[in-house]
Structure 1
Amino acid sequence: MTDIPVSRNFTHPRIYLFRMLIFVFLISFFILLIQEDLTKAFQTNPIINTVISSVLGFGIIYILWLTIKLFREVRWVNNFQNGDHHADIGSPPSLLAPMATMMLDHKYEITLSATSMRSILDSISFRLDESREYSRYMIGLLIFLGLLGTFWGLLLTVDSIGQTIGTLKVGTGESSVMFEELKLGLEKPLSGMGVAFSSSLFGLSGSLILGFFDLLYNQAQNRFYNELEEWLSTVTEINDERSDSKMNFYLNRNLKDMNAILIELEKVLHSESTDKNSGLKTVLNAIEQQNKDISKLLSEQNKLQKKIIDEVKKK
């Protein structure tokens, strides 16, 4: 068993949350500057633009919630490092569930094998990626809604242009009357172009904004994951595979020798009485030599294990 190493506390994701809030402030300030033009663009297609704005707002709130949620994970690990295992009363953090129960069971002493550490890190990495699936989907949804509004506006434009051309009567009436009809007929195509461009503007801008929030949250995740990996590496047992293989080789060889001795003993027991004394003496000498070899091997193994434990404690 290895005592919990003294290491620096995990970093809270305050800096990333602060950057998100600053970005929200900058966006709000920019919207106030172009409020009139933005309102006109919004009113050209209020249905789709409302949906886009709602998805964007929900996505920002969701990513802010995920970032704030990391505070609990960091606080739990810091409390555990400091020896306060009951500071966070209630269920363990959802992100650290794979290792929280194990650590609480071991209380002040924990040790992990390299395989266990990798399994825990893979599980946590999967949970971190899973938490970002909704934000990634919403980024794609914003792009889709922008393209949907664009194609909808283009369909309205093409349809209204066809109707305008069909209603024009060349060769009859005055040119001023025909021009007036053309001007009235072009109102719908221009309105359709407004629908297309406004939806594209809101959709692509929304995906860009939400993508930046997702980027900041990803940085906060990576920082937490890297610090967790560094800490777990300090409580992981180091196994020298080459030494283990060498020990296994000698042990297997000694077992084979012992088996051969037993076979020889069986033969001696069935031999003539005159040869028994000398044969038994030979067998006993061989057994005594094997016992010395095994004792020597166990002593070397204990020294190697002590050396490995000392190296782990130094780290």
Structure 2
Amino acid sequence: MARPLERRVRFVEPGRYILNMLLFLTAAAAVVFYLSPWSPEPSNLLVDAFNANRALNGLILFVALFGIIYYLRAAGVVSPAIRWVEAFQDRARLPRAPILLGAMARILLDADEPEGGRRDGRRVLLTPEATRAILDSIGTRMDESRETGRYIGSLLVFLGLLGTFWGLIATVNGVAAVIADLAQSGGAAEDAIAQLIANLRAPLSGMGVAFSS
């Protein structure tokens, strides 16, 4: 049995959610600026943390930046889809169908296109099976986007834990080396203390890697 699309559907624009994302990013950027050397109260905290392991921390920043761009783009592709559906409902000239609507746009156009190939004023008729296919197609695309976002978040957590364990291993090995040197040292007390201070650099560096990541 066909189902007429005679009632206008209202959509929620993603602008409010994008604005919330931008406000959060602005707040995070303000904190980073305050802890940077260029703030009114200069601080090298973030610079020192980054320099503790430039390769790993640089990779983390790259993945985080990619995730931010991906999420903003994922939220932005909803607006063109909403505009296309609203234009379809208003019988207006249709823009190019967005990727998010792929199958839905094709089905709607096929249902609304008479034999002459031009749109008229008649109602669009969709069977329950076609409606379910449309919803399943859109749901699949949205699920793929969410899964990719979750993968990016999990990757960031993994890289952070990798840096933590990397630093802890370096700390444990450094402490073991310090203890071994103390057991073997038999010189003056001043020399032993100087050697201890020098040997503590390795475990402290490992702690820096762990906490910075």
Question: Aligned-residue CA RMSD in angstroms?
Answer: 1.9
Aligned to 1:224: none
Tell me, what secondary structure is at the counterpart of 1:11?
coil
1:96-245 alignment, distance < 5 Å: 96-107=101-112, 108-169=122-183, 172-199=186-213
Aligned to 1:49: 57
Residue range with higher mean Cα deviation, 140-149 or 161-170: 161-170
Aligned to 2:18: 17
Aligned to 1:65: 73
Deviation at residue 70 of structure 1 after TM alignment: 0.8
Counterpart of 1:45, as a letter, is N
1:27-38 alignment, distance < 5 Å: 27-35=28-36, 36-38=44-46
Runs of 5+ in structure 1 lacking a partner? 200-315
Deviation at residue 14 of structure 1 after TM alignment: 0.7
Deviation at residue 9 of structure 1 after TM alignment: 3.5
Counterpart of 1:22, as a letter, is L
Q: Across the two proteins, how many residue pairs are aligned to each other?
A: 196
CA contact (8 A) 1:10 1:77 kept: no
Q: 1:8 to 1:117 in 2, by over 3 A?
A: closer
CA contact (8 A) 1:157 1:188 kept: yes
Bigger radius of gyration among the two: 1
Deviation at residue 162 of structure 1 after TM alignment: 2.1
Give the structure-2-normalised TM-score: 0.84
Deviation at residue 122 of structure 1 after TM alignment: 1.8
CA contact (8 A) 2:4 2:126 kept: no
Deviation at residue 138 of structure 1 after TM alignment: 0.8
* CA distance in 2: counterparts of 1:149 and 1:96, whole angstroms: 41
* CA distance in 2: counterparts of 1:117 and 1:171, whole angstroms: 81
Aligned to 2:94: 87
Percent of aligned pairs with the same residue? 39
Deviation at residue 83 of structure 1 after TM alignment: 1.2
* CA distance in 2: counterparts of 1:129 and 1:69, whole angstroms: 14
Counterpart of 1:196, as a letter, is A
Q: 1:109 to 1:8 in 2, by over 3 A?
A: closer
The C-alpha deviation readout for 1:239-261, integer Å capped at 9, x for no partner, is: xxxxxxxxxxxxxxxxxxxxxxx
Tell me, what secondary structure is at the counterpart of 1:132?
helix
The C-alpha deviation readout for 1:54-106, integer Å capped at 9, x for no partner, is: 0000100011111111111010011111111x331x3x222222221121123
* CA distance in 2: counterparts of 1:129 and 1:16, whole angstroms: 18
Q: 1:193 to 1:26 in 2, by over 3 A?
A: same
CA contact (8 A) 2:81 2:101 kept: yes
The C-alpha deviation readout for 1:184-208, integer Å capped at 9, x for no partner, is: 1111101101101111xxxxxxxxx
CA contact (8 A) 1:169 1:178 kept: no
Runs of 5+ in structure 2 lacking a partner? 37-43, 113-121
